[in-house]
Structures are given as C-alpha cells and as structure tokens.
Amino acid sequence: MTSIRVLGVRVDAVDPDSALARIEELVAGGGHHLVATVNPEFIMRARSDPAFQAVLDSAGLCLPDGWGVIWAARRQGRPLPGRVPGVDLIPPLAARAARLGWRLFLLGAAPGVAEAAAERLRADYPGLVITGCHAGEAGPEGDEESLRRIAAAGADIVLVAYGAPRQELWIARNLARLPAAVGIGVGGAFDFLSGRVRRAPGWMRRLGLEWLFRLAVQPWRARRMAVLPRFALEVLRTRA
C-alpha cells in the first residue's frame, strides 16, 4: 500500500476495493488497528495536534475522505485513485461482514441512533451480525463501561462515531483492550444510516458539494469548516 503526505499528514492511496481488501487483511492478520477517514479538517487538526498526528501515523489505514484531499494530492503531483468516504464504505463493509462472518459493534452517536443504524444494516444485509450498540462517552470517563459492553458482546470490528479527533483518540486509547481487530472512526455515519440526518442528493455529491449541503442542514458546522480556506491556501503555497 502506498501512502502520501498532504501537508505532512498521512493519506493512503486506496480506492474502495483496495480499502476493503486492506481491512480484510487487518481483520485476518490479528492485532489491533485503527482505520481513519482523513479529510481536510483532520489534516488541519493533525498539524496543530501532535498526538492526533501520531495516532494517524500509527493507523492500519488512512482513507482519503473529502474532495480537498484528492485535490491537494493532485496538486502535489501524487494523485490518489479516488475518494473513499467512511460513510460510503459502510454498506460494502457490511456486505463483506455478512459474507465472511465479521461481527460488528456500533459505538457512539446520540442515544438510540446506533440502534436505528444497526436495524437498517441488518435489514439491508441479511446474515450480518451486529453484536451490540452503545452511545457511551467519547472521553476517558466512559471507557470502562464501553469496553465492558464490547467485551461482553464480542466483535471483530468496532465502528466508532464520536467525530474527529475524539473517535480516533478513543480507538487509539482503547485499541489494545478491544476484542476487535479493527476500530473505524465513522463520524456522522450512524446519523445518516438511521435517517436522522439527510444526506446530500447524488448530484451534489458528484459535484463535490456534499460539504455545502451539510453546512446548510447543520449550520453549526461553519465554525469547523473555517479551517478549510486555510487548508486550501497552505496547499496552494506548497510547491509540487
């Protein structure tokens, strides 16, 4: 697997198929691995937060999420095969899990949301085993309770929805104590799967405008998105 650096932050050159193949390798190979979906907000955060940067460097897989990452890579002369947003990876991941018998555990999001997402996934992928759901707490105060529940339920893959960087920090902090081989930070994916939050229509996604739709639906994102112009400027300033 080839990795590139965008403003110093690791991104792996994978497409959806090779990303799934890599996850299969991580599950089969044993050990414990983080899978992160790296978008421009992650990159800006990692640049000012060495702990987060180190967590991404230690990951088993850093997926290229967001058009900004694809654009930056192209500008650097190291084009990536394409985007692999975490939310788009979940359906094929669930299909593979159903086929190969991987058990999933859904951690995070508001109370009840993971359960609704699980219901949807079970309906769409007959045979899929979701061993449990728990909203829990993103911070260390919730770790013992969450770990206890995951250990009791069992899991091969834990999907963690606390938003970045909390979900990646949760996984890094608790990885060694998980029964699962893989922990994936999935952001708002349970909100979409459960139908609580509407996803941008296909045409907007194809035009790379999903961020605009999310901003319109959830205006509080404006503060987080304020780093995006700086991301673009720093990429433009970097020589290819």
Q: Applying CB under 6 A, does 68 fall inside the site for ligand UDP?
A: no
Mark the segment that binds ligand UDP (CB under 6 A) among 10-18, 125-133, 143-151, 159-167.
Answer: 159-167
Q: Are 11 and 5 in contact (CB under 8 A)?
A: yes
Q: Applying CB under 6 A, does 142 fall inside the site for ligand UDP?
A: no
CA dihedral (8, 92, 137, 218) in degrees, to 10, reads 80
Q: Coil, strand or helix: which one is 197? A: coil
User: Which tokens is 204 given?
Assistant: 């907007």
User: Which tokens is 52 given?
Assistant: 């987060």
- Can you tell me which of 51, 100, 110, 212 binds ligand UDP, judged by CB under 6 A? 110
CA proximity to 23, closest of 108, 100, 81, 79? 100
Mark the segment that binds ligand UDP (CB under 6 A) among 67-75, 104-112, 126-134, 227-235.
Answer: 104-112
205 vs 94: CA distance, rounded Å: 22
Q: Applying CB under 6 A, does 164 fall inside the site for ligand UDP?
A: yes
Nearer to ligand UDP, 125 or 162 (CB): 162
- Can you tell me which of 69, 73, 188, 231 binds ligand UDP, judged by CB under 6 A? 188
Report the relative pairing of strands 33-38 and 9-12 from DSSP bridges: unpaired
Mark the segment that binds ligand UDP (CB under 6 A) among 8-16, 25-33, 97-105, 162-170.
Answer: 162-170
Which residues are bridge partners to 33 per DSSP?
182
Mark the segment that binds ligand UDP (CB under 6 A) among 43-51, 53-61, 107-115, 141-149.
Answer: 107-115
Q: Coil, strand or helix: which one is 53? A: helix
- Can you tell me which of 19, 46, 94, 161 binds ligand UDP, judged by CB under 6 A? 161
Residues found near ligand UDP in the complex (CB under 6 A): 108-110, 138, 161-164, 187-188, 190-191
